[in-house]
Structure 1
Amino acid sequence: AKHSKKPATAASSQTTVPGPSYSQRLDALQAADDIAQRQHLDRDWVRQTLGQANYVAAIAKAVTPPAVGVAKNWQLYRSRFVEPLRIRAGVAFWLAHRDTLQRAERETGVPADIMVGILGVETIYGQQTGNFRVLDALATLAFDFPASHPRAVERSAYFRTELEQFLSWTFSSGRDPLALKGSYAGAMGLPQFMPSSWASYAVDFDGDGVVDLLGSPADAIGSVANYLKTFNWQPGLATHFPLEFDASKLDMAALMAPDILPTFSVENFQAKGVVLGGEALKHTGKLALIELQNGDAASSYVAGTDNFYAITRYNWSSYYAMAVIELGQAVAQAMPH
């Protein structure tokens, strides 16, 4: 799971030319010593491993924010994910793993179409899991996160924590830290879990004694479901409801203030100018106003529930969450009956 506002894409498949290694960087070597002490790892192994990491300019570029004034475009974003190739791959994946998806849904309450949507948006069901060395990605972003980013200090600290988790995990599991490939952010496997998410939420769903998100679709399915369950997925609850606005009562500033965190009761929502109907009127939980910008055209809006918010805990983007939902729905509709 990726806590990133960057639009999700299937992990980059580009080949990169490695830059200088971190073997002579004093800050990296000091970090290696600190990691070894905190995690009770062999100091020489951590130093030697981190010393073989390379700075990759393409990774730093990938996390650099777009130029100010570049409008978000939901329809363009959607077209990258809800498209024939992913839908066909999703149908094949669902048919191949129907029993596993049903078991995960039964045990967690997370619907199969949501799990299928996430795995399709993330990696096209394992087809594109990334060609960056995870060690390079995490080291680049830990020690050379672009200073132009408005949250550079915070993000650099986050990736130092992920680097520590990665080194601890590879040391204890015996995996080769130099061989693992992933996204530009260091996310791995079919569900693109960061090292900390692997440690906290990944499960051995096929029962073979090993948690393997790289090669086991069952473990990927179970881990995605477990992740959403942990972030308070509520079985049977819709992710969102359609809405309209009553211009005479509309208080857009108040509605947008909490961002995507469900805050408003149905009554409060309606008092601020949102018109709901059907199932939405029976909703007893909180709602959030979700805005999806469409470039120069008018924005789209929906009423997001706690389950919409749960998907954004996987990737901090409403566009990502809606792409997951709509890809899952499209695959479900394309399934043979």
Structure 2
Amino acid sequence: MPPRFRPLLPALLAVACLLAGVADATPKKKHPAPVRAEDAPDAVIYGGRDDVMRFGAELAERQGLDAAWVQSQLAESRYIPNVAKFIMPPPAGTAKNWAAYRSRFVEPKRIRAGLAFWRDNEKWLARAEELYGVPAEIVVGIVGVETIYGQQMGGFRVIDALATLAFDFPTGRRDRSGFFRDELEQYFVLCHSEAVDPLALRGSYAGAMGMGQFMPSSWNRYAVDFDGDGRVDLHASGADVVGSIAHYLAEFGWQRGMPTHFDVAAPVDVADRAALLVPDIVPSFTPQEFIAHGAALPAAARESGDKLALIELQNGDAAPSYVAGTPNFYAVTRYNWSSYYALAVIELGQAVKAMR
């Protein structure tokens, strides 16, 4: 509306409402009118959405579940505005800073909690390393970065988080609603197989659960009953958490005895450095190719024969940091597609190990 007409807006709206015979001038939405929960008047529930109920019926048919059960649970799920907010990427132009990122995770509180977690689960960590080849410090690092060893596992109802992102994924970034619909389907499979109330579990804004923050599909595929008690509990069983994380990494290519990364002096020449950075975190170059592009590697890296990736970590306005990532570094990034995350996991685990 042109600025000169804005003072007339309240009067115009009042006239429009009178003519329409309604008391609410709220614009219509593309979805059916929201249904609000009686116990929380501000909460929009999905029970009034035909598309959600159809999804529930189709999900039940695909997975051999009771349709009435699935739909009744979905009918209680709610749209959570903060979920839609938190899934958005950081504002454009936000500078990455490895030193600042590292300081959030490799710090005294997590190290102390990591020591207690290692002590309490020493038997399971040793067994997981023997079975899957994943060192204890890597598992300890993941649990520490993800949830501070179970202290921060998320307060959102998982069904609400997944439904929000499945049916009302926010605009402004690449649409991942299909991914979250698949995860919502896997969540019902999980709740059915583990005899869990779908309305009871809580997790992150993205629907990740437990000490290791497994998405439902990862829980169904990779979680293991490591203590043999007949159920998988990633919220309270340290044994199951340790075994499941180690199993996950092994399935994503962890190789026994291989380092995660080596020190490296990146090429001085911009073109050579850019060539090594093209594959990002995917190990793509032999040590000899690194050297041919002007990178300097320690003897252990030169003799390893494994493919490497030049990992660049920005430090704000300061010079970037670099490491040469191995296939095991890449395996850690399968847990979270971020070199910053992977190196924080590795260095937190190393810090806890050094304090033992």
Match of 1:134 in 2: 158
How far residue 304 of structure 1 moved from its aligned partner, in angstroms, is: 0.3
Percent identity between matched residues is: 59
Residues in 1 aligned to 2:262 and 2:126: alpha-carbon distance in whole angstroms: 25
From 108, 116, 128, the counterpart of 1:92: 116
From 210, 219, 226, the counterpart of 2:240: 219
Distance change (3 Å), C-alpha of 1:314 and 1:209: same
Residues in 1 aligned to 2:347 and 2:220: alpha-carbon distance in whole angstroms: 29
Q: Does 2:296 align with 1:275?
A: yes
Residues in 2 aligned to 1:28 and 1:190: alpha-carbon distance in whole angstroms: 30
User: Which residue identity is paired with 1:108?
Assistant: Y
Within 5 A, what are the aligned runs for 1:276-315?
276-315=297-336
Residues in 2 aligned to 1:332 and 1:172: alpha-carbon distance in whole angstroms: 36
How far residue 18 of structure 1 moved from its aligned partner, in angstroms, is: 6.5
Residues in 1 aligned to 2:41 and 2:261: alpha-carbon distance in whole angstroms: 43
How far residue 86 of structure 1 moved from its aligned partner, in angstroms, is: 0.3
Q: Describe the SS at the equivalent of 2:94.
A: coil
Largest Rg, 1 or 2: 2
Distance change (3 Å), C-alpha of 1:20 and 1:270: same
Residues in 2 aligned to 1:257 and 1:249: alpha-carbon distance in whole angstroms: 12
Contact 1:60-1:146 at 8 Å conserved across structures: yes
How far residue 248 of structure 1 moved from its aligned partner, in angstroms, is: 4.8
Within 5 A, what are the aligned runs for 1:1-337?
19-149=43-173, 151-152=174-175, 155-248=176-269, 251-335=272-356
How far residue 54 of structure 1 moved from its aligned partner, in angstroms, is: 0.3
Structure 2, unaligned stretches of length 5 or more?
Answer: 1-39
Contact 2:310-2:323 at 8 Å conserved across structures: yes
1:133-175: per-residue Cα shift (whole Å, max 9, x none)?
00000001111111111x21xx111100000000122123220
Residues in 2 aligned to 1:254 and 1:17: alpha-carbon distance in whole angstroms: 56
Residues in 2 aligned to 1:172 and 1:236: alpha-carbon distance in whole angstroms: 35
Structure 1 stretches of at least 4 aligned residues deviating more than 2 Å after TM superposition: 16-19, 245-250
Root-mean-square deviation (Å): 1.4
Residues in 2 aligned to 1:17 and 1:107: alpha-carbon distance in whole angstroms: 51
1:69-123: per-residue Cα shift (whole Å, max 9, x none)?
1111111111111000000000111111111111111111100000000011111
Residues in 2 aligned to 1:38 and 1:107: alpha-carbon distance in whole angstroms: 34
Contact 1:134-1:183 at 8 Å conserved across structures: yes
How far residue 249 of structure 1 moved from its aligned partner, in angstroms, is: 8.1
| More displaced stretch, 249-258 vs 140-149 | 249-258
Residues in 2 aligned to 1:45 and 1:140: alpha-carbon distance in whole angstroms: 19
How far residue 43 of structure 1 moved from its aligned partner, in angstroms, is: 1.1
How far residue 260 of structure 1 moved from its aligned partner, in angstroms, is: 0.5
TM-score, L = length of structure 1: 0.91
Residues in 1 aligned to 2:226 and 2:265: alpha-carbon distance in whole angstroms: 42
Q: Describe the SS at the equivalent of 1:251.
A: helix
TM-score, L = length of structure 2: 0.87
Contact 1:18-1:54 at 8 Å conserved across structures: no
Contact 2:166-2:178 at 8 Å conserved across structures: yes
Match of 2:32 in 1: none
User: Which residue identity is paired with 1:125?
Assistant: Y
